[in-house]
């Protein structure tokens, strides 16, 4: 469905749209060789506390070293700091094929490109090295804006930072709750399936909303 207003800015999420990620703490810990018996030893309460520290990190409430100390503490010292660090880095798997090219096509068609991602300072440094980021003009993230999706505050902060809003924006994210929140802010939204060709989905969504790429 084409937007009722001309799309001026195409905004992508990063994890699950631009870059493939491991999607759970258990998956990332397993990827760096944490044995099953240690994963089983982490209680539900400890895992909830771990997720809470991760949320604080991606809201920019503290930086990498402080997060690592806190993550080590809340996991009951079951897993050493070095392993937690390696697991954290292993969340980022690799850029999806073709995404940089598609974002370049969108820019060439005259639309502004942007990203809005829940992430943190450590991941951000790695994400900035991706080829696709060279095709993204407005780079915004939760740890920089000090708020996170799906809270309304981050979408409004993005609008203030970019100067675009409402029907001017096409937003592409892989999580339904983020899409619902953006749509409630008046944005045009397409949900991306992270298990399929994300570059093709980005291109299709842009064309469907009138971007002539």
Note whether 114 and 185 are same-domain residues: yes
Q: How many structural domains comprise the chain?
A: 2
Note whether 48 and 144 are same-domain residues: no
* Dihedrals phi, psi of 166, to nearest 5 degrees: 50, -130
What are the tokens at 163?
A: 């100067």
Note whether 189 and 145 are same-domain residues: yes
Note whether 45 and 80 are same-domain residues: yes
With respect to residue 2, please indicate whether it lies within any of the assigned structural domains.
no
Note whether 52 and 114 are same-domain residues: no
* Dihedrals phi, psi of 92, to nearest 5 degrees: -85, 115
| 32/165 Cα distance (integer angstroms) | 41
Note whether 48 and 100 are same-domain residues: no
pLDDT digits (tens, 9 = 90+) for 150-200: 999 999 999 999 999 989 999 999 999 999 999 999 999 999 999 999 999
With respect to residue 110, please indicate whether it lies within any of the assigned structural domains.
yes
Parent domain of 71 = 25-90
Q: How far is CA 9 from the centre of its chain?
A: 17
Note whether 154 and 70 are same-domain residues: no
With respect to residue 213, please indicate whether it lies within any of the assigned structural domains.
no
Looking at 47, 74, 90, the residue that finishes a domain is 90
**Residue 6 has what pLDDT?**
86
* Dihedrals phi, psi of 82, to nearest 5 degrees: -65, -40
Instruction: List the CATH number of the domain containing 155.
Output: 3.40.50.1000
Tens place of pLDDT per residue across the chain (213 aa): 444 568 999 999 999 999 999 999 999 999 999 999 999 999 999 999 999 999 999 999 999 999 999 999 999 999 999 999 999 999 999 999 999 999 999 999 999 999 999 999 999 999 999 999 999 999 999 999 999 999 999 999 999 999 999 899 999 999 999 999 999 999 999 999 999 999 999 999 999 999 988
CA distances in angstroms from 135 to 85, 112, 116, 140, listed in the order given: 29, 10, 14, 14
Note whether 42 and 119 are same-domain residues: no
């Amino acid at each position: 469905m084409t937007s009722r207003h001309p799309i001026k800015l195409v905004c992508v999420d990063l994890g699950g749209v631009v870059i493939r990620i491991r999607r759970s703490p258990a998956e990332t810990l397993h990827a760096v060789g944490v044995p099953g018996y240690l994963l089983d030893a982490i209680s539900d309460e400890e895992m909830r506390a771990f997720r809470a520290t991760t949320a604080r990190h991606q809201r920019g409430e503290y930086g990498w070293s402080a997060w690592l100390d806190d993550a080590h503490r809340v996991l009951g010292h079951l897993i050493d700091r070095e392993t937690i660090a390696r697991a954290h880095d292993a969340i980022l798997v690799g850029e999806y094929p073709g995404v940089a090219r598609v974002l370049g096509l969108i820019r060439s068609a005259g639309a502004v490109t942007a990203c809005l991602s829940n992430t943190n300072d450590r991941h951000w440094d790695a994400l900035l090295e991706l080829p696709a980021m060279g095709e993204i003009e407005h780079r915004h993230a939760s740890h920089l804006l000090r708020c996170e999706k799906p809270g309304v505050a981050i979408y409004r902060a993005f609008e203030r930072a970019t100067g675009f809003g409402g029907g001017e924006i096409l937003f592409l994210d892989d999580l339904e709750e983020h899409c619902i929140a953006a749509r409630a802010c008046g944005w045009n939204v397409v949900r991306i399936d992270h298990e399929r060709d994300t570059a093709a989905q980005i291109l299709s969504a842009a064309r469907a909303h009138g971007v002539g790429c």
